[in-house]
A and B are shown apart, each in its own frame.
Chain A
Amino acid sequence: MTDQDRPQYQQLLARKVEVVNVGLEGFVKDLRDCDIGVVHVDWKPSAGGDPQMAALLAKLGV
């Protein structure tokens, strides 16, 4: 974060924050507990994060 960005950043947080949460669902509860609007996107890395399997799948056309 540079000083040049800071005004914009502060401006963002000055408004009501709404969050799109991607991946780990645990963050959703924390945000909701803080009364922050959140939409969860159920996303996982390909093949559960197994790089060899993901590479194989990429070659097979997924």
Chain B
Amino acid sequence: MKLIEDANQQALTRILEGEPRLIDIVPARQLIPGLRERMILHAGPPISWDRMCGPMRGAVAGAIVFEGWAKDLPTATKLAASGEIEFHPNHHFGAVGPMTGMTTMSMPLFVVENARFSNRAYCAINEGLGKVMRFGGNDASVLKRLAWLRDVFGPTLGKAIRAAGGVDLKSIVARGLSMGDELHQRNLACSSVFLREIAPWMARTSTDNAVLAECLAFIGQNDQFFLNIAMAMGKAITDPANGIRGSTIVTTMCRNGTDFGIRVSGLGEQWFTAPVEMPEGLYFAGYSEKDANPDMGDSAIVETIGLGGFAMAAAPAVAGFVGAGAPSEAGNFTRSMGEITVAQNPEWTIAAMDFAGVPTGIDIRLVVDSGVVPVINTGIAHREPGIGQVGAGVVKAPLACFQQAIVAIAKDLGVS
């Protein structure tokens, strides 16, 4: 159908022509008009408190205490259940967030600008490993770290990013792919390259050596630091490709721990959801499948632009880490994702695939026709609130989302 092919070409061009730059770190309330008191943005498609999973509820309670809307976690939980807290997806406000994806007014957010289309997208700062809010953690140590990110780290790194005139992200991703990252469960190379670029600017702009050392160490000790920057980049790249009538290209994939949701360019802001699946993977010592929560997070935005599970061939070590088989099998994931995408990205190539570009532009027609669904590399959260990460694995997007979208776009185009 020519209308669809032309629309998909336009959507693909917009994705490939994106020029994402990290330009600042700013408190959320200054970036997102409408983000106010007693309002929380979360990962995934829309969801109400009564359908939220354990870690999401734990994170909500922690975010409420963090913002000072309740004095302790039990009071916060009652407040959340009372209906007095507004919940909205990050995606409705130009933002994304990993795992539980909490975004509230005082949290500092990365700002990524897509210079080609003059749009911006946001993501909170990665908290590191261990007990963290993105995995449902909410105790005093979690809130103390968030306060440090808000009061010390965010302003320090933001000043350096501004002084540097921003940081080009496409080139960091290209180098990371050649150094063993797939940008979802492995961000070691990109985090290191980012630190190499920004450290001199942090040194030039910092007035306190102790703070500088603390901030440099925080980035240097967190292998996943770059993930949140990559997520904001993914959102900044895909947003201009949304809303092209007739296009069957996926512009959003995300999960809230209960539902998996997609959005498709030709269908604008409409969500297509189905129950989210359980990741298959490896567990940290002392944990097993019975502890795991179904998958969650806006981080699947990186698969939406051809990274993560789609770029598994770039990161054979990740295949073992997420329980996806032998390192030699990593290429099968990338080849398989090539069956459901319309192009390769010539700027992001994989040496182990003879420098083929990462598979880009998921076409819902190809997914439903082949039955091959997107694979997403993911962290696994404990099902109870407040505990945190218990493993890492691979999860498949539910086919039902794509089938619903096919029916909807056929209706929109008058095809029956």
A positions within 8 Å CB-CB of B: 44, 46-48, 53-54, 56-57, 59-62
Name, among A48, A54, A57, A62, the residue most crowded by chain B CB atoms within 10 Å (CB to CB). Answer: A62
B369 touching A61, Cβ below 8 Å = no
B256 interface residue per 8 A CB criterion: no
Question: Told that A46-B369, A56-B416, A57-B368 touch, could you supply 15 new A-B pairs with CB distance under 8 A?
Answer: A44-B370, A47-B368, A47-B371, A53-B406, A54-B369, A56-B407, A57-B406, A59-B1, A59-B410, A60-B409, A60-B410, A60-B413, A61-B1, A61-B4, A62-B369
Smallest CB separation, A57 vs chain B (Å): 5
A57 to B5, CA, bound (A): 13
B369 touching A56, Cβ below 8 Å = no
B positions within 8 Å CB-CB of A: 1, 4-5, 248, 365-366, 368-371, 403, 406-407, 409-410, 413, 415-416
Smallest CB separation, A23 vs chain B (Å): 13
A57 to B4, CA, bound (A): 12
B365 touching A59, Cβ below 8 Å = no
For B5, the chain A residues whose CB sits under 8 A away are 61
> Which of B1, B403, B415 is the one whose CB lies under 8 Å from A53?
B403
Smallest CB separation, B246 vs chain A (Å): 10
A45 to B410, CA, bound (A): 20
CB-defined A-B contacts under 8 Å, sample of 11: A47-B368, A53-B368, A56-B406, A57-B368, A57-B369, A57-B406, A60-B4, A60-B248, A60-B409, A60-B413, A61-B5
Residue on A with the closest CB to B364? Answer: A60
Q: Is chain A's interface secondary structure helix, strand, loop, or mixed overall?
A: helix
A47 to B369, CA, bound (A): 4
A25 to B64, CA, bound (A): 53
For A62, the chain B residues whose CB sits under 8 A away are 365-366, 369
A60 touching B371, Cβ below 8 Å = no
A46 to B1, CA, bound (A): 17
A19 to B379, CA, bound (A): 42
Residue on A with the closest CB to B372? Answer: A44
Q: Is chain B's interface secondary structure helix, strand, loop, or mixed overall?
A: helix
> Which of A44, A48, A61 is the one whose CB lies under 8 Å from B365?
A61
For B365, the chain A residues whose CB sits under 8 A away are 57, 60-62
For B416, the chain A residues whose CB sits under 8 A away are 56
Residue on A with the closest CB to B336? Answer: A42
A48 to B406, CA, bound (A): 14
Smallest CB separation, B228 vs chain A (Å): 36
A44 touching B371, Cβ below 8 Å = yes
For B368, the chain A residues whose CB sits under 8 A away are 47, 53, 57
A57 to B410, CA, bound (A): 9
Smallest CB separation, B159 vs chain A (Å): 50
B371 touching A48, Cβ below 8 Å = yes
A47 to B372, CA, bound (A): 10
For A47, the chain B residues whose CB sits under 8 A away are 368-369, 371
Smallest CB separation, A25 vs chain B (Å): 14
Smallest CB separation, A60 vs chain B (Å): 6
For A56, the chain B residues whose CB sits under 8 A away are 406-407, 410, 415-416
For B403, the chain A residues whose CB sits under 8 A away are 53
Pairs A-B, 10 closest by C-beta atoms: A61-B1, A62-B369, A62-B365, A59-B415, A46-B369, A48-B371, A56-B410, A57-B369, A61-B4, A47-B368
Residue on B with the closest CB to A54? Answer: B369
A60 touching B407, Cβ below 8 Å = no
A55 to B366, CA, bound (A): 14
A47 to B416, CA, bound (A): 16
> Which of A46, A48, A60 is the one whose CB lies under 8 Å from B415?
A60
Smallest CB separation, B131 vs chain A (Å): 42
Smallest CB separation, B262 vs chain A (Å): 17
Taking A53-B403, A53-B406 as contacts, is the C-beta distance between A60 and B1 under 8 angstroms?
yes
For B369, the chain A residues whose CB sits under 8 A away are 46-47, 54, 57, 62
Smallest CB separation, A49 vs chain B (Å): 10
A59 to B1, CA, bound (A): 7
